[in-house]
Amino acid sequence: MTGNTVLLALAVVQGHGADAARSGVAFAGFVTGVAVTALLPRHRLAFLLQVALLAAIPVVALAAGRFPLVAMAAAAMGSQSAATRHHTPPGVNVTYLTGTTTSAVLRWVGRALGRREEDPRLPSGIWLLYFAGALAGGAMGVAFGRPAFGAAAGVTLAVALSVR
């Protein structure tokens, strides 16, 4: 959402209404996902919400424009962020990589300087996994288009079923 916030501000200043609307819709979808998840009594329900949103994207894509798809994907991301916030180790963030990358680099540099830093391998590994996931998701998107969201829904369903 950092990027969407910056892009929203730039679009407003530059008078680009369509760009402002897209970033605003993404931000509103994210906030909605966080808020709805905060109302849910269990984490499994939050993951099932994400499954429903991701699985619906290819269906909605047949009848709707781009904005509902942006809102749904952002709501799924907001739900994931809220559901996992209290269950991740310090320095690891599940829906944004700026903090995770910062933690990894600071830990690696600190270790190189002989400081007693926390282990940098976890945030580094998280970054690598996200990068690999983005590569795989991008390749699936190129190959299959919007139906590729079904794979994301399937992975999220597997997580949901494993959560107590």
* Sequence spans of domains, the chain: 2-162
**Whole-number pLDDT of residue 161:** 86
Cβ atoms of 23 and 4 closer than 8 Å: yes
Tens digit of pLDDT per residue, the chain (164 long)? 777 888 888 899 889 999 999 999 999 998 999 899 888 888 788 889 999 999 998 888 888 888 999 999 999 988 888 887 767 777 676 667 767 777 888 899 999 999 888 899 998 998 888 788 878 888 888 898 888 888 888 888 888 888 77
**CB atoms near residue 28 (< 10 Å):** 17
Runs of H (alpha helix) within 40-65: 43-63
SS3 135: helix
**Whole-number pLDDT of residue 91:** 67
CA dist list (Å): 46 to 13, 63, 79, 145, 159: 36, 26, 6, 26, 11
